[in-house]
Structure 1
Amino acid sequence: MPYTLHEKIDGDFDAVVELTINSLEKEGFGVLCDIDVQKTLKEKLDEDFRNYRILGACNPQLAHRALEEEIELGALLPCNVIVYETDDGSVTVSAVDPEQLVGVADNSKLDSVANEVQKRFERVLSDIETNGGE
């Protein structure tokens, strides 16, 4: 079962990361953490790896609503969005599928929050697809 929403585009990696962050911000998400996997693997293991960033995205209002319904949900937050170079030189932006993510909590009161996050992530990916090749 798919657990991400994703979009593959042609574009400069760093520009796509910046576009992703800007698109998330337009949808009310802040990026709480930005993990440069390539840099980390080089520093910690002396291993080369493709450009790969993990962005921890959080919409405070939606996170608050979700935590009010399920206090343990914090273990699954923030929602991760990844940006990485593919073997063919394009860039993929992939966001965790919020409906799959909160599904593990088995709490139907979270459905509306998950649905709202999903819609926002879909708009983020659409924005990236529209503006990513520029």
Structure 2
Amino acid sequence: MSYTHTVTVPLGWDEALQRTREALAGQGFGILSEINVRATFEAKLGAGAAEDLGDYMILGACNPALASRALSAEPDMGALLPCNVVVRRGKDAAETTIQAIDPQTMVKLSDSPAVRDVANDADTRLRAALDTLRGAGAA
């Protein structure tokens, strides 16, 4: 079962991370949180674990209008928010991978038609952001 949408681009780490933020903003998503998994591994597990992982950032992306609709329909949906977007690059990789949660995962956990509508909207927006990145990588 796939629970992410994924694109791999021939961009360096810093550029891929910046363009991911911009692509998400272009679809109405703000970044509520950033988790630098590499830095956490280095602090908690040592430099070797961080090096083995490579660059790895989890962006907690939120579109406030969509979040409001989801929480109004089903308050428990807060456990699934924000939409996580991963930007990662292995230590020897020549490309950077960007993955966004598939919002249809929410639909599998709820019978609410309103949640389905929100998931469809979020899905369209996240896919559009990834498509923007796909195009940026080819430039």
Q: TM-score range by the shorter chain?
A: over 0.9
The whole-number CA distance in structure 2 between the counterparts of 1:102 and 1:50 is 33
Which residue is 2:21 aligned to?
Answer: 21
**Structure 2 counterpart SS, 1:116:** helix
Deviations 1:67-117 (A, max 9, x none): 000001001100100000145421110000001234212323211110000
**Structure 2 counterpart SS, 1:6:** strand
Which residue is 2:98 aligned to?
Answer: 93
Counterpart pick for 2:113 among 108, 116, 121: 108
The whole-number CA distance in structure 1 between the counterparts of 2:115 and 2:24 is 21
1:45 corresponds to 2:45:
yes
**Structure 2 counterpart SS, 1:132:** helix
* TM-score, normalised by the number of residues in structure 1: 0.94
Higher helix share: 2
* TM-score, normalised by the number of residues in structure 2: 0.91
Which residue is 1:118 aligned to?
Answer: 123
Deviations 1:20-77 (A, max 9, x none): 0011011100000011111110011112221000000000000000000000100110
Q: Is the 8 A contact 1:19 1:132 kept in 2?
A: no
Q: Is the 8 A contact 2:106 2:115 kept in 1?
A: no
Runs of 4+ in structure 1 deviating by more than 3 angstroms, as ranges, are: none
Which residue is 1:64 aligned to?
Answer: 68
The whole-number CA distance in structure 2 between the counterparts of 1:117 and 1:36 is 24
Among all aligned residue pairs of Structure 1 and Structure 2, give the percentage whose two residues are the same amino acid.
38
> Please, which runs of 5 or more residues in structure 1 have no aligned partner?
none
Greater displacement, 70-79 / 97-106: 97-106
What RMSD over aligned residues (CA atoms) do the two structures have, in Å?
1.3
1:75 corresponds to 2:79:
yes
Letter in 2 for 1:3: Y
> Please, which runs of 5 or more residues in structure 2 have no aligned partner?
none
State the shift of 1:133 in Å. Answer: 4.6
The whole-number CA distance in structure 2 between the counterparts of 1:35 and 1:88 is 21
Residues matched between the structures, number:
134
